C-alpha cells in the first residue's frame, strides 16, 4: 500500500427529487458526502444514484451511530470490517446494492480500502470490487476532526422547508403536496408577519408566484433578513408543478458549486449548453406552454456525457413558443427558460 496521504473532507450534497408529469416521483435526499483529494468520492463511481449513510433525514441516534462507526468507535456493521459508504437513496437497504469498503486503523492513520459493490452479506471482491478506486490513507487527526464536527450539529435536516407565496391557491396546493411527497417540507402563507422569527429561520427557500408584486416580495425579504435567516429566493417561471419543483430543488442545493456534477445550463433557440464535471447520465426535459396555457412535456435528451461542455440540439417542435428546459443528473438539477 502506498504511504502517500489523501486529504479527507466532508461537504453537503443532494440527491435531487423529482415530480414528473405522469405523477411519478423520486425522493429528495440531503446528505454529507466524502471529499477525497478535493473531489466527491461519489463522482469516481460512474453514474451511481446513491447517498452516503450521513443522510440529513435519518433519526439523530442513527446519524450519530453512523458517524461513530466511521470513526471506528463501534463495531463495523458488515463482515470483514466493512462499512457502508453509499447506499440506495430510496431505502438504503443492502439488497438494493451498496458501495462498501474496509475501514481500518494503520497506526494513527485511517485507511479505506477494498471498495466493492455489495448486495448481501457475502462478497466476491474479485468480481464486484472497484479495482481502480483506493486504497486511501488519511491522516488520523484530519479524519477524526472532520467527522467529529458532525456530532456538534444539532439538526442535520435543517433548511429543508420551503415557504410558498402566490396568488393561485390551486397551484400552490399542488406544489406543496408534490414537495412533501418527495421529502421537502412546504407551507403556504399570505403574510410572513404572522410567522415568528425563529420559525422563519427554519426555511431554506422562499418561492414566489409570478403574480406576487415587488412590494410584497420586498416585505418578505425584509422579514427574513430581520430574522437572520439565510434563504434562497425562487421566482416561479410558470404555473407548472414539475418545473417549480425543479427550481426549488436547485435553490435548496447547498453543495459547493465546484463539487456538483451539473454546473451549467443555458438554452437558446435550437440548442442547450450543458457542463458536467464528471461522466454521468444527463436528461433534458422541455416544458412548453401553448397559447391556451396548456402544458406540453417532451423528453428531449437522455444520454451519458463525458466531463466538459456540450451543445445539445433541441427539437423545434418541443420548444416552440414559451418553453423551459430542466436538466438533471442523479445529484443535481438546473432550470433555464429558452431564450429566443
Predicted local confidence at residue 25, as pLDDT: 84
How far apart, in whole angstroms, are the C-alpha atoms of residue 165 and residue 172? Answer: 8
Structural domain contains residue 255: no
Distances (CA, A) of 328 to 154, 220, 268: 31, 30, 18
Beta bridge partners of 136: 112
- CATH of residue 187's domain is 3.40.50.2300
Between strands 109-118 and 136-138, the pairing is: antiparallel
**What pLDDT digit, counting tens, does each position of 29-39 carry?**
889 999 999 99
Q: What is the pLDDT of residues 247-267, one digit of tens each?
A: 999 999 888 887 888 999 999
- Residue 156: the pLDDT is 47
Domain count, the chain: 3
192 and 277 housed in the same domain: no
DSSP characters over 243-302: HHHHHHHHHH--S-GGG-SEEEEEEETTEEEEEESSSEEEEEEEEEE-TT--EEEEEEEE
Domain co-membership, 134 together with 93: yes
- Does some domain include residue 112? yes
Identify the pLDDT of residue 155: 53
Provide the domain limits for residue 217: 158-247
Separation CA 17–CA 27 (nearest Å): 5
Q: What is the pLDDT of residue 158?
A: 54
Q: What is the Cα 216 distance to its own chain's centre?
A: 30
Paired with 296 in beta bridges are 288
Below-70 pLDDT ranges, the chain: 1-3, 92, 153-159
Please report, for residues 66, 87, 262, 331, 334, the alpha-carbon distance to residue 259 in angstroms, rounded to integers and kept in the order given.
Answer: 23, 19, 9, 10, 15
Q: Are 144 and 12 in a shared domain?
A: yes
With 0.85 as the threshold, say if the pTM is over it.
no
Both 85 and 142 in one domain: the answer is yes
Q: By C-alpha distance, which of 135, 159, 173 is closest to 3?
A: 135
Amino acid at each position: 500500500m502506498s504511504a502517500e496521504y489523501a486529504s479527507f473532507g466532508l461537504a453537503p450534497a443532494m440527491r435531487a427529487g423529482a415530480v414528473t408529469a405522469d405523477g411519478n416521483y423520486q425522493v429528495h435526499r440531503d446528505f454529507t458526502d466524502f471529499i477525497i483529494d478535493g473531489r466527491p468520492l461519489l463522482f469516481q463511481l460512474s453514474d451511481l444514484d446513491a447517498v452516503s449513510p450521513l443522510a440529513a433525514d435519518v433519526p439523530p441516534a442513527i446519524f450519530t451511530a453512523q458517524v461513530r462507526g466511521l470513526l471506528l468507535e463501534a463495531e463495523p456493521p458488515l463482515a470483514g470490517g466493512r462499512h457502508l459508504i453509499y447506499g440506495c437513496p430510496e431505502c438504503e437497504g443492502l439488497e438494493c446494492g451498496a458501495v462498501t469498503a474496509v475501514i481500518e486503523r494503520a497506526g494513527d492513520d485511517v485507511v479505506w480500502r477494498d471498495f466493492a459493490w455489495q448486495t448481501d452479506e457475502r462478497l466476491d471482491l474479485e468480481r464486484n470490487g472497484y479495482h481502480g478506486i483506493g486504497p486511501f490513507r488519511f491522516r488520523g487527526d484530519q479524519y477524526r476532526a472532520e467527522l467529529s464536527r458532525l456530532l456538534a450539529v444539532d439538526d442535520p435536516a435543517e433548511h429543508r422547508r420551503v415557504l410558498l407565496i402566490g396568488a393561485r391557491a390551486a397551484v400552490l396546493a399542488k406544489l406543496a403536496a408534490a414537495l412533501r411527497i418527495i421529502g421537502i417540507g412546504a407551507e403556504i402563507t399570505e403574510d410572513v408577519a404572522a410567522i415568528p422569527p425563529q420559525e422563519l429561520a427554519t426555511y431554506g427557500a422562499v418561492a414566489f408566484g409570478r403574480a406576487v408584486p415587488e412590494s410584497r416580495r420586498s416585505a418578505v425579504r425584509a422579514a427574513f433578513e430581520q430574522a437572520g435567516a439565510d434563504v434562497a429566493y425562487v421566482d416561479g417561471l410558470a404555473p407548472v408543478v414539475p418545473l417549480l419543483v425543479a427550481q426549488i430543488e436547485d435553490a435548496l442545493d447547498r453543495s459547493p458549486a465546484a463539487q456538483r456534477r451539473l454546473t451549467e445550463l443555458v438554452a437558446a433557440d435550437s440548442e442547450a449548453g450543458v457542463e458536467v464535471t464528471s461522466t454521468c447520465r444527463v436528461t433534458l426535459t422541455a416544458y412548453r406552454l401553448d397559447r391556451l396555457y396548456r402544458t406540453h412535456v417532451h423528453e428531449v435528451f437522455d444520454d451519458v456525457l463525458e466531463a466538459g461542455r456540450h451543445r445539445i440540439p433541441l427539437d423545434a417542435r418541443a420548444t416552440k413558443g414559451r418553453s423551459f428546459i430542466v436538466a438533471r443528473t442523479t445529484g443535481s438539477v438546473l432550470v433555464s427558460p429558452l431564450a429566443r
